Structure 1
Amino acid sequence: MTTAISASGHEAEPRLSHFPVSFFSMVMGLAGLSIAFEKAGSTIPSLQAVGHTVLALAGGLFVVLALIYGAKMLLHPQAVRDEFAHPVRLHFVPTIAISLILLSIASLELSRDLAAGLLLVGAPLQLALTLLVLDRWINREHFQTPHLNPAWFIPIVGNMLVPIAAVSLGYREASWLFFSVGIVFWLPLFAVVLNRIVFHQPLPDRLRPTLFILIAPPAVGCLAYLKLAGGIDAFARILYFFGLFLTVLLLTQLPRLRRIAFYLSWWAYSFPLAAITVASFAMAEQTGFAGYRQIGFVLLTLTSLLVTGLLLRTGIAVARHQICQPE
């Protein structure tokens, strides 16, 4: 990372100190897309190879981002502490653990040992970061209603991802622990976030893409519950269809959202759409109903185009030094 120069010509803070932890949301989007391609591969086998390619890209990106963020922790520890204390950026810190869990899920078909290793690092880290965030919620006084936004779901959703890999690896009781934490916290938090969106000032442009995070809890919850229950029932259908309804609702908002300038928060579109895509394919497997599969392929196309566009926009923003700047 180069050093920024202030308007007065003096050396400003290094760009590394402003490297945001939210960069890991890129890994979430790519890993989610790779899982979606693997699911679609049960219908079109050639798509599995595409999924493996996207997984390799997600894994490589995680390593690069982890090295950069590790350097930030060593060279600019105060900047990291500030990020952990920030009322908005705090909620993106668990994207590190969530990235590991998603890479574990995506690796299950390739190597169970690799998947287990990633999970055994990611799941305890996720639990620790969930406790950290909850401690901040309970004991901090600087949180205000304008700080509340759908990104607050991120620490919660990560817990519901664990069973998707853990059940297959034999950790059934631990899976129920993570699922219980996620599903119970999601319900009251959804009501609180909805209250903020409806009855208070609109979200600032930088955070408006996080509205798509609303899709993730029911979509991920459906996938986790299918694993834990061993099959489909009424509750799984409720979770799926609520997630699908939120997807349709938020897609109607795209004409407004697309007018917003590019921010790294645009990556908030990617993982939730990938999650509902995977849930659609999972519902098709459970029921045999072709309609779910058709929905899955429509969403897979949309998510693929979206992630490709996000990669291009992010690359342009990085090249122009529009990211890693002070707020």
Structure 2
Amino acid sequence: MNSHTPVLQTTRITRAIALTEHLSPAWFAMVMGWGGLTLAWLRATEVLGETALGLGLVGAIFSLLVFSLLCIACLTRMSAHPNAVAADMRHPVRHAFMATLPISIMLLATIGVHLFWNASRALNTVLTFVWCVGSILEIAATVWVISRWLNSADKGGFQWSTFTPVFFIPVVGNALAPLAGVPIGLEAWACAQLGVGLLLWPVLQTLLFVRMAQAGPLPTRMSASLFITIAPPSIIGLDLLALHAPLPAVWVMWGIGAFFLALSLTQLESIREQAFGLGHWAMSFPMAAITALTFRMSQEHGGSWLQMPATLLLAVTSLLILGLTLGTWRGLRHGQLLIAEK
């Protein structure tokens, strides 16, 4: 080690801290994508066996790793760049991404419940605590996001021009509740939280259609966000299965999710024409959600015809998320992601 090594290390640390200024909460979409893919692989174990379980374990470890790194980076950002954090909270679009943190916590807890529930009493307590923290934070984030819309336009209130599918994110978080809430014995609370999602989803979906009629199509750079519309019906369908709801109601949710998948696929050409950015991760979790639901429905009465489409969806979603991960790694190495938003 030469005399320049400490100086070089200090320079790298200083540069890394400076880059966190542009680390918006939207980065937790990576955890959502990998967490959703993990759940999809775990849903596929009854069809694909131990291989699916093994890949689910790998996905769980990677999801936890990414979450941990992002939490450290966000804490650094809050300390070094508090004004940047405040700017995100005031932003007419980026503020909705604040809900991605509690969603990530709930997803990780849900994965833990699927893999390790009843392994030990201590672990059950930890998983329940983590899920409760994520659940409460998600409700708080939802109330905060929706309450902003009650303000006037000049104070960050609702505007047609800034309304995008990104505002569905809090809905998705609340809809996740029964996936782990039911197995851990908090069914009443989970159903109450699901009720928030059931209330907001059709309202936001209607507002999105009205927004397109009033203010025109989404900006080109937001094309990938249309995939977010797949997530609510897909997650609600999984909820209904967990709650042993009538199967026809689940098929309704699957049909709605499949429709929005077909609609979102019409944006692929527009998405391919854009330079890679964090916004592309908007495709990841919704694709994983519809994949998980399709696998579950392939195991239900009258759904055996979905086994091949479900397997194809799982392969496509896995390749998509691997591609997004590699694109993110390249973008970080080449300095194309942690930069000021244009």
Query: Normalising TM by the smaller chain, what interval?
Result: over 0.9
Distance, in Å, in 1 between the alignment partners of 2:26 and 2:34 is 14
Which structure would you say has the larger Rg?
2
Moved more, 38-47 or 114-123: 114-123
Unaligned segments of structure 2, at least 5 residues: 1-12, 118-123
8 Å CA contact 2:223, 2:271 repeated in 1: yes
Q: Indicate the residue corresponding to 1:84 in structure 2.
A: 89
Offset from partner CA, 1:16-58 (integer Å, 9 cap, x none) = 2111110000000000001111111111111110111011000
Task: Please say if 1:132 is aligned against 2:137.
Answer: no
Distance, in Å, in 1 between the alignment partners of 2:286 and 2:246 is 21
Distance, in Å, in 1 between the alignment partners of 2:254 and 2:14 is 45
Task: Please say if 1:74 is aligned against 2:89.
Answer: no
Distance, in Å, in 2 between the alignment partners of 1:281 and 1:115 is 25
Q: Superposition pairs for residues 8-87 of structure 1, below 5 Å?
A: 14-45=18-49, 46-87=51-92
Name the CA shift for 1:140/1:119 in 2 (closer, same or farther; >3 Å).
farther
Unaligned segments of structure 1, at least 5 residues: 5-12
8 Å CA contact 1:103, 1:115 repeated in 2: no
8 Å CA contact 2:171, 2:201 repeated in 1: yes
8 Å CA contact 1:16, 1:324 repeated in 2: yes
Q: Indicate the residue corresponding to 1:181 in structure 2.
A: 196
Task: Please say if 1:117 is aligned against 2:129.
Answer: yes
> How does the TM-score come out when normalised to structure 1?
0.93
Of 124, 131, 153, which residue of structure 2 is paired with 1:141?
153
Residue identity over aligned pairs, in percent, reads 34
Distance, in Å, in 2 between the alignment partners of 1:94 and 1:325 is 22
1:303 corresponds to which letter in structure 2? T
Shift of residue 139, structure 1, vs aligned partner? 2.3
Q: Indicate the residue corresponding to 1:152 in structure 2.
A: 167
Q: Indicate the residue corresponding to 1:258 in structure 2.
A: 272
Name the CA shift for 1:286/1:2 in 2 (closer, same or farther; >3 Å).
farther
Offset from partner CA, 1:215-249 (integer Å, 9 cap, x none) = 01111111112222x14432222111110111122
Shift of residue 2, structure 1, vs aligned partner? 5.0
8 Å CA contact 1:206, 1:263 repeated in 2: no
Of 313, 324, 330, which residue of structure 2 is paired with 1:299?
313
2:300 aligned counterpart, secondary structure:
helix
CA-based RMSD of the aligned residues comes to 1.7
Residues paired across the two proteins, number: 318
> How does the TM-score come out when normalised to structure 2?
0.89
Distance, in Å, in 2 between the alignment partners of 1:203 and 1:2 is 38
